[in-house]
């Protein structure tokens, strides 16, 4: 086994990981490992924008209240206060690094999204905000010689001995490497691939969540999975996110009979919180015996639609849907983890030397339901804080020593891996999705128990390790959902 040593190890190259790496690079050498290309993360696919109280009609206090309200009473006040207070500074910092948010003349343009009481959503190139932020962060990372990037390096497991994290194992070119680090920052993103319908990229397989759990970290709120109400539902098309910003600009939702129905489910109609809209769509699909509903933006000016939502317009056109003249078939899909590895507001986990930020972490900032467009801000704010804390608590003189015991689980193969993966994802969608019950959750648990052998080995292929992590993350979600016997936010129990 190859062994490498570094001051700081950052696992993940999305907004939280890169922002943390910048802080760590001020103090020492940083390795950023990512299992695909540097830019392949959920950050790149974030369309709607980033929420921040910078508009004249907005205040930090109003952003705080909107976030608390969306979280359905379960937000951690200190985390939300940190997010909204430090958010403006992080965004202005991005702009100083070259981020090009959309403007009218010289003034930033702010738009509205569901559950926001003010226009506070910044966007870039219409509907490519995440891609623009990722571009700026990668460019800055490339300019910092202290940061070394490892692409196509698969994160296997954390190295934890006697309650302290000493780095991680990674799999690269078929070879296992132990990367020993003075401080390790987990920023691996979410786990949308646990479900058969998801807006998340293929890399979102819960690797950091499962590995942290195996290492003994405390996990929180794993039952709170946000389902985005509107992902594209078309033959041969991917489950492409149709941004909430369309509804913010006036799009309406219609059932299979072309009738508006959201007003029957909530007074805020299309601008209700995501959990409410997703459940209303599911209820309407059941009532009308259909597999989708429609998003209608045809009443808006054609040129405005093309300019405001260029990526959505072009993507739908590839599947013969002209959103300026036709209704968009949509249905809900798994989108974001509100729960994760428990941390404080400075990124500390319950394992010494291990920090976490972004979607893999749970500070309590989202409560039971994330306010739209708070995720990119979360990555920036808490990524920076985790990086700073790692620097402050890093002991540069500490010698990990050659006697460090390095071992990973026995290696093996998964029989019929495609079938196992498909089974887990289908069961999660059908039994532990938008609407759950003790009966359905226990049925899911039975299936996962029969597959438990998959989690007992380590594999020398990324694909098989991802299946292992999908299974362990799925089981964590189901067990947490069984424990919370009331319905709140994104966790809805029909019983």
Judged by phi (left if over 0) then psi (alpha if -120 to 50, else beta), residue 435 lies in beta
* 8 A C-beta contact, residue 290 and residue 254: no
As a whole number of Å, the end-to-end CA separation of the chain is 51
**Cα–Cα distance, 164 to 178 (Å, whole number):** 15
* 8 A C-beta contact, residue 490 and residue 226: yes
Phi/psi at 457 (nearest 5 deg)? -125, 165
Scanning 25-70, the segments in alpha helix (DSSP H) are 60-70
Nearest CA-CA partner of 223 in 68, 339, 332, 71: 339
Burial degree of 96 (CB within 10 A; 0-12, 13-18, 19+): exposed
Phi/psi at 257 (nearest 5 deg)? -95, 10
* 8 A C-beta contact, residue 273 and residue 279: no
Task: Tell me the three state secondary structure of residue 248.
Answer: helix
DSSP per-residue string spanning 204-228:
-S-HHHHHHHHHT--EE-TT-EEEE
**Cα–Cα distance, 341 to 350 (Å, whole number):** 9
Strands 458-459 and 175-186: unpaired
**Cα–Cα distance, 86 to 102 (Å, whole number):** 21
Gyration radius from the chain CA atoms: 22
Strands 121-122 and 147-150: unpaired
- How many secondary structure helices (H) and strands (E) does the chain include? 14, 21
Distances in whole angstroms, Cα of residue 133 to Cα of each of 46, 93, 101, 121, 318: 10, 11, 9, 14, 25
Contacts of residue 145, Cβ cutoff 8 Å, sequence gap at least 6:
none
Instruction: List the catalytic residue out of 19, 274, 279, 370.
Output: 274
**Facing residues of 232 across strands?**
330
274 catalytic per annotation? yes
* 8 A C-beta contact, residue 397 and residue 410: no
Q: What is the DSSP letter of 293?
A: E
The helix (run of H) or strand (run of E) holding residue 387 is helix 375-393
Catalytically active residues, by annotation: 274
């Amino acid at each position: 086994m190859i062994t490498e040593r570094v001051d700081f190890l950052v696992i993940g190259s999305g907004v939280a990981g890169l922002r943390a790496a910048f802080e760590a690079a001020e103090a020492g050498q940083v390795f950023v490992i990512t299992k695909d290309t540097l830019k392949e993360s959920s950050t790149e696919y974030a369309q709607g924008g980033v929420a921040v109280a910078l508009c004249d009609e907005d205040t930090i206090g109003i952003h705080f209240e909107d976030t608390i309200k969306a979280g359905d009473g379960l937000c951690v006040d200190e985390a939300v206060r940190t997010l909204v207070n430090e958010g403006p500074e992080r965004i202005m910092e991005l702009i100083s690094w070259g981020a090009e948010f959309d403007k009218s003349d010289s003034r930033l343009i702010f738009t509205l999204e569901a559950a926001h009481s003010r226009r506070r959503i910044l966007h870039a190139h219409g509907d490519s905000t995440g891609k623009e932020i990722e571009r700026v962060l990668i460019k800055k990372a490339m300019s910092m010689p202290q940061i070394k990037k490892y692409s196509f390096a698969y994160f296997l497991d954390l190295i934890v001995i006697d309650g302290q994290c000493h780095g991680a194992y990674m799999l690269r070119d078929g070879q296992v490497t132990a990367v020993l680090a003075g401080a390790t920052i987990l920023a691996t993103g979410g786990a949308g691939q646990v479900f058969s319908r998801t807006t998340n990229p293929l890399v979102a397989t819960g690797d950091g969540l499962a590995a942290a759990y195996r290492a003994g970290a405390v996990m929180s709120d794993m039952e709170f999975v946000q389902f985005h109400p509107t992902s594209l539902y078309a033959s041969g098309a991917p489950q492409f996110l149709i941004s909430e910003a369309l509804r913010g600009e006036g799009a309406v939702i219609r059932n299979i009979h072309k009738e508006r129905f959201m007003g029957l489910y909530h007074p805020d109609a299309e601008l209700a919180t995501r959990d409410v809209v997703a459940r209303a769509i599911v209820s309407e699909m059941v009532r009308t015996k259909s597999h989708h509903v429609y998003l209608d933006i045809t009443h808006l000016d054609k040129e405005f639609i093309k300019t405001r939502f260029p990526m959505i317009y072009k993507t739908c056109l590839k599947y013969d849907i002209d959103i300026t003249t036709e209704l968009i078939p949509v249905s809900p899909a798994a989108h974001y983890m509100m729960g994760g590895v428990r941390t404080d507001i400075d990124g500390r986990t319950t394992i010494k030397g291990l920090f976490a930020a972004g979607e893999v972490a749970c500070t309590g900032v989202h409560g039971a339901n994330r306010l739209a467009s708070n995720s990119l801000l979360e990555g920036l704010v808490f990524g920076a804080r985790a990086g700073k804390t790692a620097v402050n608590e890093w002991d540069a003189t500490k010698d990990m020593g050659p006697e460090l015991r390095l071992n990973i689980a026995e290696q093996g193969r998964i029989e019929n891996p495609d079938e196992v993966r498909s089974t887990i994802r289908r069961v999660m969608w059908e039994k532990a999705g938008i609407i759950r019950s003790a009966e359905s959750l226990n049925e899911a648990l039975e299936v996962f128990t029969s597959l438990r052998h998959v989690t007992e080995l380590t594999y020398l292929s990324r694909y098989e390790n991802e299946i292992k992590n999908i299974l362990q993350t799925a089981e964590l979600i189901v067990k947490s959902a069984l424990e919370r016997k009331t319905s709140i936010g994104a966790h809805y129990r029909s019983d």
